[in-house]
Amino acid sequence: KNEVEQSPQNLTAQEGEFITINCSYSVGISALHWLQQHPGGGIVSLFMLSSGKKKHGRLIATINIQEKHSSLHITASHPRDSAVYICAVKDNYGQNFVFGPGTRLSVLP
């Protein structure tokens, strides 16, 4: 079974700072997802990656398949970025997700 770890567990940043959240997994995957969960609980999918790098606005996600590692970067962070960021991987059969424990980000004005 895949084990998914995230670091850091909690992160507090000042507005405008560059933020990096890391995710590592133990077994080969078909895809990795980065999710955002706001305090109300709803989850939004930010990225799905199987290789390389993706960018959407101030968010950048990268994945290194050989090292079984992915990073989520937020440039010019803003208080509205405050949320829990969750890494989830799909196994090579593509049926189920395994979720990381999440990284709680607080961006202070």
Q: Which residues bind another protein (CB under 8 A)?
A: 30-31, 33, 35, 40-45, 48, 50, 86, 88, 90, 94-97, 99-102
Closest CB to another protein among residues 41, 109: 41
Shortest Cβ 70–another protein spacing (Å): 15
> Measured from the CB atom, is 40 or 109 closer to another protein?
40
Distances (CA, A) of 5 to 25, 50, 106: 6, 18, 20
23 vs 77, beta carbon nearer another protein: 23
**Residue 106 exposure: Cα atoms within 13 Å on the Cβ side:** 5
CB of 64 to another protein, least distance (A): 19
Residues 6 or more apart from 41 whose CB is under 8 A from it? none
Q: Give the whole-angstrom CA distance, residue 59 versus residue 85.
A: 12
Shortest approach of another protein to residue 31 CB, angstroms?
Answer: 6
Q: What is the distance between the alpha carbons of residues 15 and 59, in angstroms, rounded to a whole number? A: 15
Nearer of residues 42 and 109 to another protein, judged by Cβ: 42
